[in-house]
């Protein structure tokens, strides 16, 4: 039994069953007499793992055959550069970006190094924060792509709809929302996601890319920043982070056993609704995101009297609820409640929050 509920935004909580399996297989993986970490990434056993991981991911997300899946190192932040380097061409170096928070801004700053960014829409700074409807966006029909962030991990702002961009490829940074519910892959040109949020451990990045978007990158693009190189080498151009690939494969298999993404969606919706409902009715805590775009995955909240933050975090820690502090850029509190967080974890948090507000409210 584990001793705490971990509400960290990432690296994040992993399913207990996955950790137990990794522990059981640690000294002898697949009758090799070795751990998975010590095995060649080009061996037959590891090749099987890679193939099974991709097959499971394709099944979970219902990925059409004309999309490739790349398993890359470097984190989601690397994709901030890889997307423009690979989707821009000498003829067209303009892209539309939607700014909904801190991670969108980072993607925008990086893209500006390689071409022209058109800020097609920005979130309001007034509270409650709300994503502008697409009718208010200023999209350029000749853009090389449109980039957006379906879930802003730090701000707790999430799209509950998919933008429509016609023939212009839609690129999504799904780092903190991938696998939390079914998605229509065919609406996207590229989906990328770091594994350390809703999948668990850090070190790997998934890129789901429509085949026709894999083409020559801009001149002078470093080899490892070219999708075409990773595609041609089946994500094994150089040594990949094998242990995280293995852990991610265990998580995919766990998700299948749990019943797939429709079931995860129901669980995630229930967890988030319970927590927001409690916050809204508490008269002590608040969340400043408009209900139409509140995140199911990351729930920021604050206490009117900011002086109580440290006490809250310390007492939560004593209660077995860890990593509840907000991101260092925004302060306050944040509960990240990804797939691996059971409903009991959220109920335990609500119980503690109630107890705390009784004491200090
Ligand atoms: C965490 C996060 C990132 C950055 O991921 P790294 O793997 O640390 O580069 C980018 N985008 C979103 C939405 C995130 O949540």
Question: What atom in ligand 1 is closest to the CA of residue 80?
Answer: 10
pLDDT at residue 80 in the model: 98
Active site (annotated) includes residue 29? no
28 catalytic per annotation: no
**Catalytic member of 29, 68, 99, 103:** 103
User: For residue 328, what pLDDT is reported?
Assistant: 87
Tell me, what's the pLDDT at 2?
73
225 pLDDT above the threshold of 90:
yes
The helix/strand/coil state of 196 is coil
Which of 285, 4, 292, 2 lies closest to 128, judged by CA?
Answer: 292
| Tens digits of residue pLDDT in 135-148 | 999 999 999 999 99
Q: How far is CA 8 from CA 90, 156, 321, in A?
A: 42, 13, 10
Pocket residue to mutate for ligand 1, from 109, 157, 173, 175, most atoms within 8 A of Cβ: 175
Q: 104: CA distance to ligand 1 center in Å?
A: 10
Distance (angstroms) between ligand 1 centre and the Cα of 27 equals: 32
**In the chain, beta strands by DSSP E:** 5-6, 67-72, 94-99, 116-122, 146-148, 151-152, 157-158, 170-173, 190-194, 205-210, 285-286, 298-303, 321-322, 333-336
Would you state the pLDDT for residue 48? 97
245 is known as an active-site residue: no
pLDDT of residue 268 exceeding 80, the answer is yes
Q: What is the pLDDT of residues 55-94, one digit of tens each?
A: 999 999 999 999 999 999 989 999 999 999 999 999 999 9
What is the chain's mean pLDDT, rounded?
A: 96
Given CA atoms 180, 184, 185, 189 in this order, what sign does their dihedral have?
negative
Average pLDDT over residues 275-286: 97
C-alpha 146 chain-centroid distance:
18
pLDDT band at residue 200, thresholds of 50, 70 and 90? confident
Q: Tell me: the pLDDT tens digits for 93-114?
A: 999 999 999 999 999 999 999 9
Tell whether the torsion through CA atoms of 198, 204, 205 and 207 is positive or negative: negative
Best probe residue, ligand 1, of 194, 241, 334 (max atoms within 8 Å of C-beta): 194
Smallest CA-to-CA distance from 297 within 208, 178, 170 is with: 178
pLDDT single digits (tens) 296-344: 999 999 998 999 999 999 999 999 999 999 998 888 999 999 999 999 9
Q: Beta 157-158 vs 116-122: how paired, if at all?
A: unpaired
**Contact at 8 Å (CB) between 256 and 56?**
yes
pLDDT of 1 higher than 80: no
pLDDT of residue 329: 86
Q: Please write the tens of the pLDDT for every residue from 150-184.
A: 999 999 999 999 999 999 999 999 999 999 999 99
Specify the pLDDT at position 350: 98
Residue 345 near ligand 1, beta carbon < 6 Å: no
Is the pLDDT reported for residue 33 higher than 90?
A: yes
Query: Is any ligand 1 atom within 6 A of the Cβ of residue 338?
Result: no
> 311 has which bridge partners?
none
């Amino acid at each position: 039994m584990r001793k705490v509920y971990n509400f960290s935004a990432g690296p994040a909580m992993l399913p207990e069953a996955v950790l137990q399996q990794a522990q059981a297989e640690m000294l002898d993986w697949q009758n090799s007499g070795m751990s998975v970490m010590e095995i060649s990434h080009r061996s037959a056993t590891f090749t099987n793992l890679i193939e099974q991981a991709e097959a499971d991911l394709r099944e979970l997300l219902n990925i059409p055959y004309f999309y490739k899946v790349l398993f890359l190192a470097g984190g989601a932040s690397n994709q901030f550069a890889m997307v423009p380097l690979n989707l821009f061409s000498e003829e067209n170096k303009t892209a539309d970006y939607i700014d909904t928070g801190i991670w969108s801004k980072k993607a925008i700053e990086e893209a500006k190094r390689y071409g022209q960014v058109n800020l097609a829409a920005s979130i309001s700074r007034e509270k409650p924060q709300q994503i502008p409807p697409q009718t208010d966006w200023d999209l350029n029909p000749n853009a090389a792509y449109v980039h957006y962030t379906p879930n802003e991990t730090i701000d707790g702002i999430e799209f509950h709809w998919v933008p429509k961009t016609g023939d212009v490829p839609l690129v999504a940074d799904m780092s903190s929302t991938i696998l939390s519910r079914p998605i229509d892959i065919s609406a996207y040109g590229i989906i990328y996601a770091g594994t350390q949020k809703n999948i668990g451990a850090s070190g790997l990045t998934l890129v789901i890319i429509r085949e026709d978007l894999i083409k020559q990158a801009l001149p002078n693009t470093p080899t490892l920043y070219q999708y075409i190189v990773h595609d041609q080498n089946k994500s094994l151009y150089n040594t990949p982070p094998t242990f995280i690939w293995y852990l991610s494969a265990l998580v995919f298999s766990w998700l299948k056993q749990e019943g797939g993404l429709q079931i995860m969606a129901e669980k995630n919706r229930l967890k988030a609704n319970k927590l927001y409902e409690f916050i809204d009715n508490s008269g002590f805590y608040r969340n400043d995101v408009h209900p139409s775009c509140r995140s199911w995955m990351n729930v920021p909240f604050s206490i009117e009297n900011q002086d109580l933050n440290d006490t809250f975090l310390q007492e939560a820690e004593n209660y077995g609820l860890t990593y509840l502090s907000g991101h260092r850029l925004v302060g306050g509190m944040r509960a990240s409640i990804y797939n691996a967080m059971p409903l009991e974890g959220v109920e335990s948090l609500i119980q503690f929050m109630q107890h705390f507000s009784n004491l200090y409210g």
